[in-house]
Structure 1
């Protein structure tokens, strides 16, 4: 994992979560801004998948459990699309809160992936 990219993902996910949370509490329906912010989080996660596949080949091996890392990564990749499906099916103000919960969960999961990659010992 690339540490600065991980922190970028965490910051973007937190900002997207705040945008979705404020939209939900303001009574707005899911719109291009909230769904787009969630989509940006997903694109960064897909880039993280590419990074996680490539970095061991260039000498940046994980120190923790590789299976646990990829389970976190795949789970994090599944959260934003499922939350967007929920938002498009439900179309209520609470769908934005669901989007916020999903991207906040992604932020926590990405931070945990950094810990697995760099801190733990196998």
Structure 2
């Protein structure tokens, strides 16, 4: 993984999480803004998938367990989709809080993927 891209992903995920939690606790239902912030995190994760596929061929293979990294990456890509589906099916303030929790969970997963990629097993 590329450190600067990981930092960008972390900043966006934490900002999205805090934003959605703030909206949810203020009583706002899911909107284009809250769902869009999580969609931006998802877009960055898709770029991460492409990077994870290309990086080993460019001389940057994972130093940790590639299977563990792959499971984290697939889970991280699926998590926002599930959160958005939930938010759109149950349009309440708590759905917006769930979007925030998903984004903050993704921040932790992104950091863990960075650790797996750069730390020898």
Normalising to structure 2: TM-score of the pair? 0.99
2:32 matched residue in structure 1: 32
User: How many residues get paired?
Assistant: 121
CA RMSD of aligned residues (A): 0.5
* 2-structure distance, mates of 1:102, 1:79: 7
1:85 matched residue in structure 2: 85
- Please give the secondary structure, in 2, of the residue aligned with 1:84: helix
* 1-structure distance, mates of 2:70, 2:103: 18
| TM-superposed deviation, 1:42 | 0.2
- Aligned ranges 1:1-122 → 2 under 5 Å: 1-119=1-119, 121-122=120-121
* 1-structure distance, mates of 2:35, 2:19: 10
CA-to-partner distance for each residue in 1:51-96, whole Å, 9 max, x for gaps?
A: 0000000100111000000000000000101000000000000001
Structure 1 residues without counterparts, runs of 5 or longer: none
